[in-house]
Amino acid sequence: MPVSLYSMIDVAPTLAAIMGVPAPAQSNGEPLAEILNGLDRGRRCALLVPDALGMHPWSLWKDEMPFFTALVEARHVVLRSVMPTITPVNFATMVTGVEQSVHGIGTYNDRIQCETLFDVLGAQGKQGAAYGQEGCTMGQLIYPIAQAGRRVPRHEDDQIVEALLTDATEISPDFIITQLVTTDDVFHRFKPSNPEVVPYVRDTDARLKRLVEGLSELEYAVMILADHGQHDGEERGTHGTDADEDSLVPCTWVN
Judged by CB, which is closer to Zn ion: 43, or 236?
236
Least Å distance, CB 181 to Zn ion, is 8
Least Å distance, CB 51 to Zn ion, is 4
Q: Name, in order, each residue with C-beta under 8 angstroms of 48's C-beta and a sequence gap of 6 or more.
A: 178, 180, 208, 211, 212, 222, 223, 224
Judged by CB, which is closer to Zn ion: 167, or 184?
184
Binding mask 32-71 for Zn ion (x = CB under 5 A): -------------------xx-------------------
Judged by CB under 5 A, the residue of 227, 245, 248, 253 near Zn ion is 227
Judged by CB, which is closer to Zn ion: 174, or 205?
205
Judged by CB, which is closer to Zn ion: 149, or 229?
229
Q: Which phi and psi angles does 131 have, rounded to 5°?
A: -120, 110
**Residues 52, 227 contacting (CB under 8 angstroms):** yes
Residue with smallest beta-carbon separation from Zn ion: 87
Least Å distance, CB 100 to Zn ion, is 14
Judged by CB, which is closer to Zn ion: 157, or 184?
184
- Integer angstrom CA distances of residue 169 from 100, 130, 218: 35, 15, 7
Q: How far apart are CA 129 and CA 177, in angstroms?
A: 6
AA identity, residue 127: Q
Least Å distance, CB 136 to Zn ion, is 9
Judged by CB, which is closer to Zn ion: 167, or 227?
227
135-194 positions binding Zn ion, by CB under 5 A: 184
Least Å distance, CB 228 to Zn ion, is 5
Judged by CB under 5 A, the residue of 85, 87, 127, 182 near Zn ion is 87
**Residues 151, 47 contacting (CB under 8 angstroms):** no
* Bridge partners (DSSP) listed for residue 47: 177, 223
Pure H helices in 43-110: 55-61, 66-74, 87-94, 100-103
Q: How far apart are CA 249 and CA 255, in angstroms?
A: 20
Instruction: Give the interface segment with Zn ion, choosing from 3-11, 39-47, 86-94, 106-114 (CB under 5 A).
Output: 86-94
**Apex CA 97: angle with CA 19 and CA 94, to 5°?**
75
Binding site for Zn ion (CB under 5 A): 51-52, 87, 184, 227
